[in-house]
Structure 1
Amino acid sequence: MILADENLPPRMIELLRDSEIEVFSIKENHRGINDQEVINLSKSPPRIILTEDKDFGEWVFAHHEESISVILLRYKRPDLDLIADIVIDLIKDKGSSLFGKYVTVTLGKIRIREIYL
């Protein structure tokens, strides 16, 4: 269900997997690919891109990239476990309803935006 961008710390992936969330890691499987290739991988099978890279917002809102879903994480490294808990709860609570959304997660707020094309 989750496509972990290469910039995510291994600890984040570990915490997600420990919570029984399916994670496909770019770092483990396709290190060094560009954003467009990440997007292509997210489409088949459909996966939500989990990233710290704001460029995916540009792909969605400026380039109108179709059929992608993104969770953007904004936090400081010491807060990694806290943000992971928020993401785990979000995924377990919302599940597949996160497809077609651009979600920004911070310690204080979760913003879910529908992706309209």
Structure 2
Amino acid sequence: MNLVADESVDSGITLGLRKKGINVFSIAEESGGIKDTEVLELAVKNDALLITEDKDFGELAFRLKFQHAGILLIRLSDLPRNERLLLAVKTIFSNLNKMKGNFSVLTKNGLRIKNLRGKAK
């Protein structure tokens, strides 16, 4: 498994990544309604980058220091859906290895990657 997509992630992003050959486990498809901490645990267990549009994961990683294998927070709600999907899929596909183990934020201004190794909690 390469990625875990939180249920907040637009299904178009998940489908676009799969079309590029990336294995994406979708919480919305498989485990809807589970807690954020359970989503994070699933991603860690599978050594997968977690992609989300839910900023609560930033609090889990930064303030509460939950372990993670990498988190990408997508903040593109101000773009039209088609642009948002294209930009997200292209950015994830091109930067997957750079984002592993780090906390990243994707906005219309680009991708920011912060080296933040989650400590076990």
Cα 1:29–1:77 shift into 2, 3 Å = farther
SS for the counterpart of 1:28 is helix
Question: Structure 2: how far apart are the matches of 1:110 and 1:65?
Answer: 22
1:90 aligns with 2:72: no
Cα 1:86–1:78 shift into 2, 3 Å = closer
Question: Structure 1: how far apart are the matches of 2:90 and 2:17?
Answer: 10
The structure 1 segments of at least 4 consecutive aligned residues displaced by more than 4 Å after TM superposition are none
Letter in 2 for 1:16: L
Question: Structure 1: how far apart are the matches of 2:66 and 2:108?
Answer: 28
Query: Can you give the 5+ residue segments of structure 1 that lack an aligned partner in the other structure?
Result: none
1:59 aligns with 2:63: no
Tell me what 1:20 maps to: 21
SS for the counterpart of 1:20 is coil
Q: Per-residue displacement from partner, 1:13-53 (whole Å, max 9, x unpaired)?
A: 11111122211000111111000100110012111111000
Displacement of 1:77: 6.6
Instruction: Give the RMSD, CA atoms, in angstroms.
Output: 1.8
**Contact conserved, 1:4 with 1:26, CA < 8 A, in 2?**
yes
Which segment is superposed worse, 82-91 or 45-54? 82-91
What percentage of aligned pairs have identical amino acids? 28
Cα 1:67–1:13 shift into 2, 3 Å = closer
Query: Can you give the 5+ residue segments of structure 2 that lack an aligned partner in the other structure?
Result: none
Question: Structure 2: how far apart are the matches of 1:104 and 1:37?
Answer: 21
**Contact conserved, 1:83 with 1:106, CA < 8 A, in 2?**
no
What is the TM-score of this pair, normalised by structure 2? 0.85
Which segment is superposed worse, 30-39 or 61-70? 61-70
**Contact conserved, 1:69 with 1:99, CA < 8 A, in 2?**
yes
Tell me what 1:68 maps to: 69
Question: Structure 2: how far apart are the matches of 1:2 and 1:74?
Answer: 18
